Amino acid sequence: MTATATATETSKPVNTLAQPVAPARELRPQVDIYENAEEVLLLADVPGASKESVNVRVEEGVLSLEALRTLANGQTVRYQRAFHVPESVDPEKISAELKHGVLHLHLRKAEKAKPRTIAISAN
């Protein structure tokens, strides 16, 4: 994987929860992944999920996202998906927002990974 490669999905779900949770239906949210010089932007469809339930973490190069939703019949749905993230992403600088049932994850790139323009001085 090159430094500029974007997040790639892991082959299996990664369970990062420290404690076991009550049985829940699991769903794999659909995602879009975008990239520019500054960041990788990941959008995930998590309709009905509550803001408080969103859990995003990066551990050993794996980004895992999780969110919970309670259905009208009381059943809990767990949205869960995990991705390998490139080394260029700074795990300390991840921000998340939830808008209209879509989770927006901003994965900022580390300073050294950003492209840089070097001025050439004429002599």
- Residue 27, interface with other proteins (CB under 8 A)? yes
Contacts of 117 (CB under 8 A, 6+ apart): none
Alpha-carbon Rg for the chain in angstroms: 17
Q: How far is the CB of 35 from other proteins (least distance, A)?
A: 5
- Residue 121, interface with other proteins (CB under 8 A)? no
* Contact flags string 85-114 toward other proteins, x per CB under 8 A: -------------x-xxx------------
Nearest to 43 by CA among 99, 116, 113, 117: 99
Q: Which of residues 54-73 bind other proteins (CB under 8 A)?
A: 71-73
